[in-house]
Amino acid sequence: MHEMRRFEPPAELAAHANVTADVYAEADADRLAFWEKAAERLSWDTKWDRVLDWDNAPFAQWFVGGKINAAYNCVDRHVEAGNGDKVAYHWVGEPENDTRDITYAELKDLVCQAANALTGLGVKAGDRVAIYMPMIPETVVAMLACARIGAPHTVVFGGFSSTALRDRIQDCDARVVITSDGGYRRGAPAALKPAVDEAVAQCPDVRSVLVVQRTGQDVEWDDSRDVWWDDAVGTASTEHTPEAFDSEHPLYVMYTSGTTGKPKGILHTTGGYLVGTSYTHWSVFDLKPETDIFWTAADIGWVTGHSYIVYGPLANGTTSVMYEGTPDTPHKGRWWEIIQQHKVTILYCAPTAIRTFMKWGSDIPDEFDLSTLRLLGSVGEPINPEAYIWYRETIGGGRCPVMDTWWQTETGQLMISPLPGITAGKPGSAMKALPGIGALVVDDEGNAVQPGSGGYLVLTEPWPAMLRTLWGDDERYQDTYWSRFQGLYFAGDGAKLDEDGDIWLLGRVDDVMNVSGHRLSTTEIESALVSHPKVAEAAVVGANDPDTGQAVNAFVILRESALKDGEKADDALIQELRNHVSKEIGPIAKPKSILVVPELPKTRSGKIMRRLLRDVAEKRDVGDVTTLADSTIMDQIKQGLATGKDDD
């Protein structure tokens, strides 16, 4: 373990940083005036008459009465300002030398064409469009085309299964799906269209599927429904007049795991979201649009990609790198090669990636020129001090400060983070709430804890990019986030304050796991397991894992009929169950281990005591078992590990 270290903000950076230390006092003095100033960085068709309407809390409206077009702000206005030749994306395909540079002028033409094509397919403002794509430029084009015509998009991560895709299409009642034949992953083309075909077979209201050709693999074709992107978009006009939409017009729905089996559709709206993402992108990454090359190494299918590959960077006129594939294809130095080649100045990624690179060894990045880097970011899970220091030293050459950014799909924008040139860095701490953001650590009663103590992270003030509700479920929105503590947003994270009052995130306090920065619900995986005919009951816990942060550990009770007399639960059965979860949710949800047990530990009221199972999974002595209905169960579980039915 490293003793607690503290890195002072580099003076060099402080002298030229976009924001200065007085920004906190400025925001404290008048929070709404502060966000109003941030909103003025964008181009509005009609100015707002009120910054915030919180009268109907927790339902917020930001920049009330304002009208704005998100795509115009991300693309057209940069072209109009004379920056049409500037590169918006250095796109890097996974196969080597498969690259494409897209300027703002080209992006504008593509977005206009796609907007015209979608209109041609009958998409109107307010209609939902599902996007199930690999990491290719057309994904960004599709999102912006939707935004341009006011059709909220719902991007479904390409690693999700057809079942997960179907559920999301149905939940938000999308009428059009945009996909591709597939994308490159680990050196080979992976298919996407078959999953769409499977999903859409159960979505009778989907009338068109727009298909980008990326890999050239064979696809099944339904003439009544499927349209090639090149035929529809490629032939459309590059002229399109953007319509200004109400600031609160829905921009997108992003599904994320909650504590129940049913994913939550997080709704983000237009004006406030664009203000929150563009301001934080500019301030936290000290973004200089003239000179920086910015790379968020995440998938667009997650909120990190929405906010910091697409909307934030484009609104700021940034040149970004976008990479299609995995970090080890065709070799383990791929990321560093990309940084060297494109002279990346800012890298933003997840601790799980950093830990993987650490494991592969410093020799690999050491072979590349990373001297253009000036700032590093981390997101998605707590960064352990070892990984922080390795990232800072080995990747950042000791000169790049690390911004450990805490936020969520729900918050839309960065919330807790150091500011470059202003805040010191402490490995493992996200430090403090950004200007204009109110965060506290509270105890069970909702009272703020003192420095040196722990509790729950809450947000005390509404913020521009906050979720507005859960799609179609206002009640669940109120219950999930605003009922635990009166008047406070409950984030679901445990946190502690150190003696200086800086915030350390400690992980989820609910039934949500964080595996490689991906958010998974224990209940959702349990439901998937129980849907298998051989499983009677299942309990899932996220156990600490040195590589992935947490790992999915499942405990299952088999049905009587699952095994014949004397037969054991063997590896083939475990594999079958793991694959079943993968098919139901997606490969990311596949349990790392599945133990067949005779019983599950339950309280007298029948609630599964996951805490005890976590002890087992993390190979600790099992803690307090006095609240168990049957206190012998833990012994049975430990004896019966993976041995199946004959221990009954």
Residue type, 288: K
Q: Does 492 bind ligand WT7 (CB under 6 A)?
A: yes
- For residue 196, how many other CB atoms are within 10 A of its CB? 28
Taking the least distance from each CB to ligand WT7, the nearer of 378 and 553 is 378
Which range binds ligand WT7 by CB under 6 A, 213-221, 356-364, 373-381, 563-571? 373-381
Strands 50-53 and 61-64: antiparallel
Q: Does 505 bind ligand WT7 (CB under 6 A)?
A: yes
How far apart are CB 340 and ligand WT7 at their closest, in Å? 27
Buried b (16+ CB within 10 A) or exposed e, 581-608: bbbbbbebbbbbebbbbbbbbbeeeeeb
How far apart are CB 237 and ligand WT7 at their closest, in Å? 37
Taking the least distance from each CB to ligand WT7, the nearer of 430 and 440 is 430
- For residue 47, how many other CB atoms are within 10 A of its CB? 13
Q: Are 437 and 16 in contact (CB under 8 A)?
A: no
Q: Are 440 and 331 in contact (CB under 8 A)?
A: no
Q: Are 426 and 495 in contact (CB under 8 A)?
A: no
Taking the least distance from each CB to ligand WT7, the nearer of 105 and 416 is 416
Strands 593-596 and 549-558: parallel
Residues touching ligand WT7: how many (CB under 6 A)?
A: 21
Planar angle of CA 485, 487, 490, nearest 5 degrees: 50
Taking the least distance from each CB to ligand WT7, the nearer of 131 and 577 is 131
Among 90, 392, 426, 519, binds ligand WT7 (CB under 6 A): 519
Which range binds ligand WT7 by CB under 6 A, 51-59, 203-211, 212-220, 400-408? 400-408
Among 491, 574, 595, 613, binds ligand WT7 (CB under 6 A): 491
Element spanning 486, H or E: none
Cβ-based neighbours of 569, under 8 Å, separated by 6 or more? 558, 562, 563, 596, 642, 643, 644, 645
Q: Does 590 bind ligand WT7 (CB under 6 A)?
A: no
Q: Does 380 bind ligand WT7 (CB under 6 A)?
A: yes
Q: Does 277 bind ligand WT7 (CB under 6 A)?
A: no
Q: Does 430 bind ligand WT7 (CB under 6 A)?
A: yes
Q: Which of residues 237-266 bind ligand WT7 (CB under 6 A)?
A: 256
Task: Give the integer Cα–Cα distance in Å for 277 and 315.
Answer: 9
Among 113, 162, 304, 548, binds ligand WT7 (CB under 6 A): 304
Taking the least distance from each CB to ligand WT7, the nearer of 189 and 385 is 385
Which range binds ligand WT7 by CB under 6 A, 170-178, 487-495, 561-569, 596-604? 487-495
Which range binds ligand WT7 by CB under 6 A, 5-13, 329-337, 491-499, 594-602? 491-499
Q: Are 179 and 210 in contact (CB under 8 A)?
A: yes
Q: Does 381 bind ligand WT7 (CB under 6 A)?
A: yes
Beta strands in 427-502 (DSSP E): 439-442, 454-459, 489-497
How far apart are CB 446 and ligand WT7 at their closest, in Å? 18
Q: Does 502 bind ligand WT7 (CB under 6 A)?
A: no
Torsion angles phi and psi, residue 307, rounded to 5: -85, -35
> In terms of DSSP H, where are the helices of 535-594?
571-584
Among 48, 91, 132, 406, binds ligand WT7 (CB under 6 A): 406
Query: What DSSP string describes 299-326?
Result: -TTSHHHIIIIIIHHHHTT-EEEEE-S-
Q: Does 408 bind ligand WT7 (CB under 6 A)?
A: yes
Among 493, 502, 524, 526, binds ligand WT7 (CB under 6 A): 493
Which range binds ligand WT7 by CB under 6 A, 177-185, 330-338, 380-388, 616-624? 380-388
Instruction: Name the site residues for ligand WT7 (rule: CB under 6 A).
Output: 256, 303-304, 379-382, 404-409, 430, 491-493, 505, 508, 514, 519
